[in-house]
Structure 1
């Protein structure tokens, strides 16, 4: 049985949303963060050698990493839905945003968080990361002015990956969305999706998604 192990306020919300969009059967287990340091509890860390979210189990399989999990679930349980094939005109755009999400954008945001308060303009590393972050947000805003979804005409796993970066991850940094009208309009469209609402109600009960 496919089981999604969700750590509260984490990237594993993506996998809950994916399963809800696909309408597949899955088991669900939620883990609260520790009260003392807001990190994952030992029970969650024991699931996978990296000790971080997300993690799924499927029989004897234990799989981590958001992108790998998206590909696995879409391939095994979703009949390839939400992942356009090579003949689709949106194929390349989907691939770019799907991989850019964690490969570049999320990595940059995490570096920015680590370097926050680290000397500002006097710290060359902070200057580099802040500039990369600025360019990333500008790319996102531009893309969402060109197409309704990151992958193009339709929602794909590129959106499953990117929405967390634009919403819940901001809880750790407080990044405002002022000056990003395309992003705000996009998130309003995402908020209207029944599968997204179901997923967030399940993943973060009593918590208002950061959609604006």
Structure 2
């Protein structure tokens, strides 16, 4: 049976959601972030050397990285579900969004998180200087990049209801975290198509069930 090594408020929530959508039995082993650093606990290193989540175990297999885990679950347990047929335009879009979610989309979101948190972590005498530098970095680079990505999401969702086409796929599960994080950190929910996408995914029974299994998740609002 698959065991999901699940960290609170993390990208591993998507793995739980996918398993619920497919009806695949699984177990959850929960881990809590350090309250001060917000980092994963060292116990995760016993599962994978990087000590990060998500990680799953399936028998003697250990898999990390959300995209790789999603692909493994779809290939092993999906039976053709939540993935467009091979060879078509929707399959190409599916592959693109599956990898874009953890590639291009997450970089500015992580920078936003870092520069927002940086002043509070700086020594007292340097806090004002660090705050000024962080604000300039956000205004000059991070925020414009985020705006470009958010505009892109909204424009693409104006073409089709879901990212790969008219049908819900695992690519939408992958894209959920960037859009949820973007809504929390960068007002992405002000874009009508992004807001509608978030409403649709949050209403899905499998999404709600995954929240029950995974515990508190600040982005499901």
TM-score where L is the length of structure 1:
0.87
1:2-42 deviations in Å (ceiling 9; x for gaps): 11111000000010001001111112211122233222112
Partner of 1:201: 212
- Structure 2's unaligned 5+ residue stretches are 117-130
Instruction: Using the TM superposition, give the Cα deviation of residue 129 of structure 1 relative to its aligned residue in structure 2, in angstroms.
Output: 3.3
1:81-111 deviations in Å (ceiling 9; x for gaps): 2122323441121111111111100122112
Counterpart of 1:144 (choices 157, 171, 178) is: 157
Whole-angstrom CA distance in 2 between matches of 1:209 and 1:199: 13
With 50-59 and 33-42 compared, the bigger mean Cα shift is at 33-42
Q: Higher Cα Rg: structure 1 or 2?
A: 2
Partner of 1:74: 74
Partner of 2:126: none
With 83-92 and 154-163 compared, the bigger mean Cα shift is at 83-92
Partner of 1:119: 133
Partner of 1:182: 193
Whole-angstrom CA distance in 1 between matches of 2:186 and 2:220: 10
- Structure 1's unaligned 5+ residue stretches are none
Counterpart of 1:191 (choices 184, 190, 202) is: 202
Is residue 210 of structure 1 aligned with residue 213 of structure 2? no
1:23-62 deviations in Å (ceiling 9; x for gaps): 1111221112223322211212332112111100011111
Give the RMSD, CA atoms, in angstroms. 2.2
CA contact (8 A) 1:7 1:44 kept: no
Whole-angstrom CA distance in 2 between matches of 1:37 and 1:18: 28
Counterpart of 2:168 (choices 129, 151, 155) is: 155
Between Structure 1 and Structure 2, how many residues are aligned? 207
Q: CA 1:122–1:108 in structure 2 vs 1: closer, same or farther (change >3 Å)? A: closer
Partner of 1:33: 33
Partner of 1:128: 141
Instruction: Using the TM superposition, give the Cα deviation of residue 114 of structure 1 relative to its aligned residue in structure 2, in angstroms.
Output: 2.2
